């Protein structure tokens, strides 16, 4: 019998995305899979129940029934422990799992013997690029960060030569030139700003320059495993502070995106630096959810300090839900190819390197080490 893939309506505050979009539903249905979508699941992202129905999905009225019939549950945010109570033993959950923070969820998954795959843990290997939801969603976050900066600034971004005089281009500084940072650079450039960027990974320099921005060199290279950054040594941090200090004081807008996996975000912009900025300047701190790159950032809030606007947005991809959902659904479609065979049945084993790497809970065991230790420590 065909397996059933279920898509619930997201319930977290401000979460407008949906795990599957109609286009991906129709591909799954064609491959022999049954797809159930909760009534109204795509509404906030502008995908109607009618569009899902036309794509071959069944619309489920009752959330508990949707969960209980799922062989594979696809979500954006991790499902709540109470809701997983409805699920069949051995069912599969795929989505963002908040590894290290979702302790009660992991315990419930273990208890129900669910298999959960965390998209945050997908190994960053070439074969997994099409499943890399961190990248797809960071791309959207970086774009929106540049728009927010432009919106908060009391000045124009592009250079203009008009009968009413000449306007100088705004200076945008991007700290952290990973996926989100590069998109923030590209978007700021398209809006006409002069852009400078800094990253501790030297490899980022070439990408920054290829987007027409200036790369600030620190003569260090802190690239670690998987293409991610490592934490800097105390001496390196002193050098970094001096360079960032100068750059921040000259910028009209600072967009920060620096992160180190599994750790708090590095503090790059101190209160002192903010005090040296020009009034009317703006900081958009994309690392707000992991502690912030600026000392004054408050997650989920926009504050004004000494005439400087400091925004700490959370879940920016959720603010562009149509395309964020489209890209996320494509990531899931690729991931599902590892789990579903050509006949539309589940594959027998989870031996694939990507499945092993992204296993959050499996076979009655919490596989993510940090989560497991926290879950056991809390007992
Ligand atoms: N499949 C793949 O091969 C694949 C997929 C995605 C990303 N990557 C690589 O991983 C890189 C980072 O990915 P990400 O954007 O998700 O990373 P991330 O969100 O963990 O971090 C964002 C950026 O912050 C930078 N950073 C950390 N500490 C810093 C500091 N003190 N000062 C300045 N910058 C600092 C990091 O180097 C990174 O570029 C990408 O740019 C890419 O090279 C590879």
Give me ligand 1 centre to Cα 268, in Å: 15
pLDDT tens digit sequence for 299-344: 999 999 999 999 999 999 999 999 999 999 999 999 999 999 988 8
The pLDDT of residue 206:
96
Annotated active-site residue 135? The verdict is yes
* Residue having the nearest C-alpha atom to atom 12 of ligand 1: 178
| Catalytic pick among 115, 135, 138, 326 | 135
- Average of pLDDT values for 119-136? 96
Residue of 129, 210, 369, 370 marked active site: 129
User: pLDDT tens digit string along 61-98?
Assistant: 999 999 999 999 999 999 999 999 999 999 999 999 99
Q: In this structure, is the dihedral angle defined by the CA atoms of residues 357, 361, 363 and 365, taken in order, positive or negative?
A: positive
249 catalytic, yes or no?
Answer: no
Q: Do domains 4-131+321-377 and 140-315 have the same CATH topology?
A: yes
Q: How far apart are CA 193 and CA 282, in angstroms?
A: 14
Q: Confidence band (pLDDT; 50, 70, 90) for 238? A: confident
Whole-number Å distance between alpha carbons of 198 and 217: 7
Which residue's CA is the nearest one to ligand 1's atom 15?
178
The predicted pLDDT at position 379 comes to: 45
CATH superfamily of 140-315: NAD(P)-binding Rossmann-like Domain (3.40.50.720)
Query: Does ligand 1 lie within 6 Å of residue 216's CB atom?
Result: no
What is the tens place of the pLDDT at every residue in 193-206?
A: 999 999 999 899 99
From 96, 129, 258, the mutation candidate for ligand 1 (largest count of ligand atoms within 8 A of CB) is: 258
- 2 pocket-lining for ligand 1 (C-beta < 6 Å): no
Task: Let me know if 221 is a catalytic residue.
Answer: no
Catalytic residue selected from 34, 71, 132, 207: 132
Q: Which residues of 167-200 are buried (b: 16+ CB within 10 A; e: fewer)?
A: eebbbbbbbbbbbbbbbbbbbbbebebbbbbbbb
Looking at ligand 1, which residue's alpha carbon is closest to its atom 14?
A: 178
- Write the pLDDT tens digit of every residue in 342-366: 888 899 889 999 999 999 999 889 9
Predicted local confidence at residue 162, as pLDDT: 96
Note the pLDDT tens digit of each residue in 134-184. 999 999 999 999 999 999 999 999 999 999 999 999 999 999 999 999 999
Buried b (16+ CB within 10 A) or exposed e, 242-269: eebeebbeebbbbbbbbbbeeeebbbbb
pLDDT-based confidence at residue 289 (cuts at 50, 70, 90): very high
> What per-residue confidence (pLDDT) applies to 342?
85
Q: With contact defined as beta carbons under 8 Å apart, do 331 and 133 qualify? A: yes
- 302-305 β-sheet, strand order: 214-215, 194-198, 171-175, 253-256, 282-285, 308-311, 302-305
Confirm or reject: Cβ of 176 under 6 Å from ligand 1. yes
- Whether 124 lines ligand 1, by a CB cut-off of 6 Å, is yes
The pLDDT score that the predictor gives to residue 218 is 81
Predicted local distance difference test score (pLDDT) of residue 97: 96
Choose between 377 and 219: higher pLDDT: 377
Which ligand 1 atom is at minimum distance from the Cα of 258?
24
Distance CA 26, CA 37 (A): 12
Q: Is the CB of 257 under 6 A from ligand 1?
A: yes
Q: Which of 259, 287, 289, 317 to mutate to test the pocket of ligand 1 (most atoms within 8 A of CB)?
A: 259
How many whole angstroms separate alpha carbon 101 and alpha carbon 374? 9
- Residue 59 class from Cβ within 10 Å (0-12 exposed, 13-18 middle, 19+ buried)? middle
Q: What is the pTM of this model?
A: 0.94
* Nearest atom within ligand 1 for CA of residue 182: 41
Return the residue whose CA atom lies nearest to atom 29 of ligand 1.
258
* Tally: H helices and E strands in the chain: 13, 17
Reported confidence tier of residue 240, pLDDT bands at 50, 70, 90? confident
Expressed in angstroms and rounded, the spacing between residue 225 Cα and the centre of ligand 1 is 11
**Domain definitions of the chain by residue range:** 4-131+321-377, 140-315
Binding site membership of 141 for ligand 1 (Cβ less than 6 Å): no
Is 228 an annotated catalytic residue?
yes
Residue 20 reports pLDDT greater than 60: yes
**Residue whose CB lies within 8 A of the most ligand 1 atoms, among 228, 234, 266, for a mutation test:** 228
Give the pLDDT score at 378: 55
**Structural tokens at position 283:** 């900081």
| Answer CATH for 4-131+321-377 from 3.40.50.300, 3.90.1150.10, 3.30.750.24, 3.40.50.720 | 3.40.50.720
Do the beta carbons of residue 180 and residue 199 sit within 8 Å? no
Both tokens of residue 123? 């190994």
Q: How many CB atoms lie within 10 A of CB 132?
A: 21
């Amino acid at each position: 019998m065909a397996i059933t893939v279920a898509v619930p309506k997201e319930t977290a505050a401000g979460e407008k995305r949906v795990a599957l979009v109609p286009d991906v539903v129709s591909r799954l249905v064609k491959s022999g899979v049954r797809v159930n979508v909760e009534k109204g699941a795509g509404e906030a992202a502008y995908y109607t129940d009618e569009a899902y129905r036309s794509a071959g999905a069944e619309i489920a009225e009752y959330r508990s029934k949707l969960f209980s019939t799922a062989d594979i549950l696809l979500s954006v945010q991790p499902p709540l422990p109470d809701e997983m109570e409805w699920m069949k033993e051995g069912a599969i959950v795929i989505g963002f799992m908040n590894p290290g923070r979702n302790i009660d969820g992991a315990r419930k998954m273990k208890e129900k013997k669910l298999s959960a795959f965390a998209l945050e843990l997908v190994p960053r290997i070439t074969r997994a690029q099409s499943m890399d939801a961190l990248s797809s969603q960071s791309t959207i976050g970086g774009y929106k960060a540049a728009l927010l900066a432009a919106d908060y600034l009391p000045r124009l971004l592009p250079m203009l030569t008009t009968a009413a005089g000449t306007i100088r281009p705004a200076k945008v500084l991007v700290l952290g030139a990973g996926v989100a940072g590069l998109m923030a650079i590209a978007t700021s450039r398209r809006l006409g700003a002069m852009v400078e960027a800094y990253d501790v990974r030297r490899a980022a320099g070439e990408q920054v320059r290829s987007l027409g921005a200036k790369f600030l060199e620190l003569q260090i290279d802190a690239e670690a495993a998987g293409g991610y950054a490592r934490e800097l040594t105390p001496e390196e941090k002193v050098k970094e502070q001096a360079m960032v200090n100068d750059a921040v004081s000259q910028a009209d807008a600072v967009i920060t995106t620096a992160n180190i996996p599994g750790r708090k975000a590095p503090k790059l912009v101190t209160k002192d630096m903010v005090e040296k900025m020009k009034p009317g300047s703006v900081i958009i701190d994309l690392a707000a959810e992991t502690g912030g790159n600026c000392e004054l950032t408050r997650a989920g809030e926009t504050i004004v300090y000494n005439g400087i606007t400091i925004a700490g947005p959370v879940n920016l991809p959720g603010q562009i839900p149509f395309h964020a959902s489209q890209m996320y659904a494509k990531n899931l479609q690729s991931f599902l190819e590892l789990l579903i065979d050509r006949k539309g049945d589940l594959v027998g084993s989870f031996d694939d390197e990507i499945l092993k790497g992204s296993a959050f809970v499996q076979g009655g065991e919490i596989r993510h080490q940090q989560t497991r230790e926290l879950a056991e420590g809390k007992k």
